[in-house]
Amino acid sequence: MSTSADRRRRMVDRLSEDGITDSRVLAAMGTVPRERFACSDLADVAYEETPLPIGGGQTISAPGIVARMAAALRLRGGERVLEIGTGNGYAAAVLASCGARVVSVEYDAELAAAARRCLARVGIDDVEVRHGDGAHGAPDRAPFDAVSMTAMAPDFPPAVLEQVTPGAVLVAPLGVDRDGVLVRRRRGREEHLGPVRFVPMRGASDAVRAAMS
């Protein structure tokens, strides 16, 4: 019978075969125990290429999209990263395991609390989880070297764009409702990294939504 470690190694092999070449990301994906972020009855499928429900209508993204987004940030270690949409902390754990210092903002108070517990349980201490409206970022921790949005929005929130360094890398699924394109933006240049499907961003005020539309 295969162990979680065996399944994690097979997942990393699959990610590598699918084109993930960033050694930091592959090492992080091979280290963070995804089953510790999943419901106990889903542990056996934690390393399958599928999103997992975590409550509140939210999911942990499939391993492939977590790896793609982390690789798109081009982390080298020591970056300050703003994550919008903590979920239960798995993607933040991967970013921290890539050497980043992460501030992650989650709209749902119960999920934020669950993320803190999950991160503490696996010994990840370079992630600060906040309960709040991610569209407002974390101005008291700015500037950020990178931004990862894990929910669909029409564009990057204006407040967040004011909280980044000049050479910051921003990665997000941009679109309407649940369907859109994974976008990487840096120094005014934008790259489309392929179609994606994400839950819509929650909590942005009417003024912020108007500015993003």
Tens digit of each residue's pLDDT (9 = 90 or more) over 77-101: 999 999 999 999 999 999 999 999 9
Q: What ranges do the domains of the chain cover?
A: 4-212
Mean pLDDT of 26-44: 91
Average pLDDT, the chain: 92
- pLDDT over 50 at 68, yes or no: yes
- pLDDT over 70 at 105, yes or no: yes
CATH fold for domain 4-212: Rossmann fold (3.40.50)
Phi-psi region of 19 (alpha: psi -120 to 50; beta: other; left: phi over 0): left
Higher pLDDT, 55 or 8: 8
Catalytic positions, written as ranges? 61
Q: Answer whether 147's CB lies under 8 Å from 79's CB.
A: no
- pLDDT over 90 at 44, yes or no: no
- To the question of pTM greater than 0.85 for the whole model, the response is yes
- pLDDT over 80 at 120, yes or no: yes
Identify the pLDDT of residue 204: 56
Say which amino acid occupies 120: A
Mean pLDDT of 103-119: 96
Phi first, then psi, for residue 101 (nearest 5°) are -105, 115
> Tens digit of pLDDT for each residue in 159-207?
999 999 999 999 999 998 889 999 999 998 999 999 999 988 887 544 3
